[in-house]
Amino acid sequence: MYSIQAYLYQQKTEIIIAEVDADFDTKRSRIVYAKPFRVSRGVDNNLLFEFQNQNQRPFDLSGSELVFRIISRDGLELLLEKQVTILNAQSGRARVTVTASDLDNVEPQDANWSVTRKSGVLVEPVYMDEQAGSRGVIEIRDAAFPNYAETESITMPSQAEFDRSDRASLLPPDGRKPQFSSWIRGKDIDQSTFQVTLSGFSGKFGIQGALDKDDIWFGKTGYPWFEVDFSLASDNNNTKISDIELENSNDTFGINISGYYPWLRIYGKVSDGSIEKILYR
């Protein structure tokens, strides 16, 4: 039997506050360099700080306002700016949490971080090493989750366009107007996701698929589309359903599809309202 050790550890670094007092000529700090931070996209990351004076004693943060920044390596772009939470002012301990949403629009990269301290009328940098370095290294990685996948937007043609087409006769009339999204090429993976935004939607909608061998251009062959089972992204039990019926809904929600389908589209049987926006990845 094999066993694997997993570690849950805190990322912590020491930071120096330069105090001006009667002994300001004496420099006793021995912090040579700042430890690099590593943050993972898709999850929350806690970064801890211990603030010290030149004598390596805890620095009292009472009355201080601290701001944490992530800056691109070339120094040209501010990637993130957040307030630092002071955990214990007398002990000089503080924390910043880089959340999953903070890094949604930040590409994986090696960058720099800094902290500034405001006290009274002064805004000062804090130092990570004895060379007065005020920038540390932070590694932004796709570590806890797979690499980010770009979403594709799927159009929903107007109902008037459908009514004038030869597709209108392909579904039996039941008092509801059918709507079809444009079709999209399926992913070469066994799971994909739709995000659907509704506007006053009443009716049913589901997902349809087609095979590579099918001619999906209407008017050339018979009706090639078939129903695809799916599960709601909010359903932890991953219960498969064939369609969903809603009443006057303005919700935005996710749909998960298991299996490989060469072509996919969303269809709706609409009593009122519309499917406003569809994203796929």
Tell me which of 118, 141, 164 is where a domain ends.
141
Please state, in angstroms and rounded to a whole number, the distance separating the CA atoms of residues 141 and 39.
6
Question: How do the pLDDT tens digits run along the chain, 281 residues long?
Answer: 666 666 566 787 777 776 655 455 555 555 555 678 899 888 889 999 888 877 778 888 999 899 999 999 988 999 999 999 999 999 989 999 998 888 888 888 999 998 988 988 888 888 766 566 778 889 998 877 666 666 788 887 655 555 555 554 444 445 456 677 887 887 776 778 888 888 888 888 888 888 876 555 554 445 677 888 888 888 778 888 888 888 888 888 888 888 888 888 888 777 788 788 888 88
Cα Rg, the chain, nearest whole Å: 28
Query: Same structural domain for residues 134 and 183?
Result: no
DSSP 88-116: ETTTTEEEEEE-TGGGTT--SEEEEEEEE
Indicate yes or no: pTM above 0.75.
no
Dihedral angle, C-alpha 167, 170, 176, 178, nearest 10 °:
-40
106 and 158, same domain (yes or no):
no
Of the residues 91, 110, 141, which one is the last residue of a structural domain?
Answer: 141
Boundaries of domain holding 57: 11-141
Q: How far is CA 9 from CA 45, 50, 88, 90, in A?
A: 11, 16, 20, 24
4 within domain boundaries: no
Both tokens of 118, joined, read 């405001």
Within a domain: 6? no
pLDDT at 260: 82
CB 16 within 8 A of CB 52: yes
Q: Domain check: are 127 and 184 in the same one?
A: no
Q: Which helix (H) or strand (E) holds 132?
A: none
